[in-house]
Amino acid sequence: MTDQIIIEAPKSDPLPLIFDSPHSGARYPDDFDHVLDRALLRRSEDAFIDELYDHVPDQGATLLHALFPRCYIDPNRGLLDIDPAMIDGGWPGESTPSFKLDNGVGLIWRQVKTYGRIYDRLLSQQEVQSRIDCCWQPYHSALSGLFEHFHAKHGFIYHVDCHSMPEWGDETTEDGVTRRADFVLGDRDGTTCEKGFSELIAKTLRDEGYSVLFNEPYKGVELVQRYSDPAANRYSIQIEINRVLYMDEDKITRNERFDALKQSLRKMTQVIADYVSERVV
């Protein structure tokens, strides 16, 4: 455990079920040294997602969440998603081009949407490495440790990667200027999760009156890809919630729909916990 992540243990019999919230962190480190206005920088947060899922330890699940902001370093990116042009002297390690990197949202973000650049300087190799060591690595060590612990004990593990998305896409996102569904479930086109589990989540949400799409526009990124392996009974799914369902995106405050959404999520996570519980022998 470091001061950059929190693991909330189950309050009842632990199930092989992990929820993680990698993007709700809002503790901005003193050494961030950004020029973009903090209010605009905060648009990158999946604000309140840790709070919307804070009941899951009561249902037997473990909740992991980051305290650092994702625009400082993004745990939902791989260590190769790094832009050498942002770093003084380049990056001594490997990097691979990607859509996310081209749009300034790799491991270390270059910009937030179209609001402007985060830095007016190059970052040092040392500060990038320090962000990896202090934030990215502890997050991944914690998640990987939880996977191993529960998989060793039960022979299977379910992981729900929890996010939120702006109501509208824009020119920096895969979907362009489009209004999003209420929920988008990402299983990388059926490769990271068990179909019955994904469909159960979709049905529960639709029964609550929400629109649900699979993999459009978000398929899931590093966190569902890195640890899942359905052939070995390791299942990961990403859930994106449309922010209009619970917050004012400009003010970053809860809106009048927050409590109703929280109630629906509580139902959904109970259905998930029951499903996992039935598989435990």
Q: Which residue has the tokens 């206005």?
A: 37
Q: By C-beta, is 15 or 73 nearer to Zn ion?
A: 73
Q: By C-beta, is 214 or 218 nearer to Zn ion?
A: 218
46 binds Zn ion (CB under 5 A): yes
| Contacting range for Zn ion; rule: CB under 5 A; set: 4-12, 126-134, 162-170, 188-196 | 162-170
- Give the shortest CB-120-to-Zn ion separation in angstroms: 26
User: Which listed residue (17, 18, 21, 23) binds Zn ion by CB under 5 A?
Assistant: 23
What are residue 45's phi and psi, to 5 degrees?
-70, 145
Q: Which residues pair with 214 in a beta bridge?
A: 185
Amino acid at 34: H
In whole angstroms, give the CA distance from residue 252 to residue 118: 19
Using CB under 5 A as the criterion, what x/- string covers residues 215-254 for binding Zn ion? Answer: ----------------------------------------
Q: Reduce the DSSP state of residue 195 to 3 states and report it.
A: helix
DSSP notation for 54-93 = TTGGGGT-EEEEE-S-TTTS-TTS-TT---GGGBTT--SS
- Give the shortest CB-270-to-Zn ion separation in angstroms: 23
| Contacting range for Zn ion; rule: CB under 5 A; set: 12-20, 58-66, 88-96, 161-169 | 161-169
How many chain residues interact with Zn ion (CB under 5 A)?
Answer: 3
User: Which listed residue (163, 180, 219, 243) binds Zn ion by CB under 5 A?
Assistant: 163
Question: In the window 196-215, what residues touch Zn ion (CB under 5 A)?
Answer: none
Closest by CA to 242, choosing from 154, 161, 183, is 183
Amino acid at 154: H
Token output for 192: 């990271």
Find the largest Cα–Cα distance for the chain. Answer: 56
Long-range CB contacts (within 8 A, 24+) of 249-257: 249/43, 249/166, 249/167, 252/39, 252/42, 252/43, 252/45, 252/47, 254/48
- Give the shortest CB-216-to-Zn ion separation in angstroms: 16
- Give the shortest CB-62-to-Zn ion separation in angstroms: 19
- Give the shortest CB-85-to-Zn ion separation in angstroms: 24
Question: In the window 91-150, what residues touch Zn ion (CB under 5 A)?
Answer: none
Q: By C-beta, is 149 or 226 nearer to Zn ion?
A: 226
- Give the shortest CB-46-to-Zn ion separation in angstroms: 4
| Contacting range for Zn ion; rule: CB under 5 A; set: 16-24, 90-98, 113-121, 255-263 | 16-24
**What is the CA 218 to chain-centroid distance, rounded?**
11
| Residues near Zn ion (CB under 5 A) | 23, 46, 163
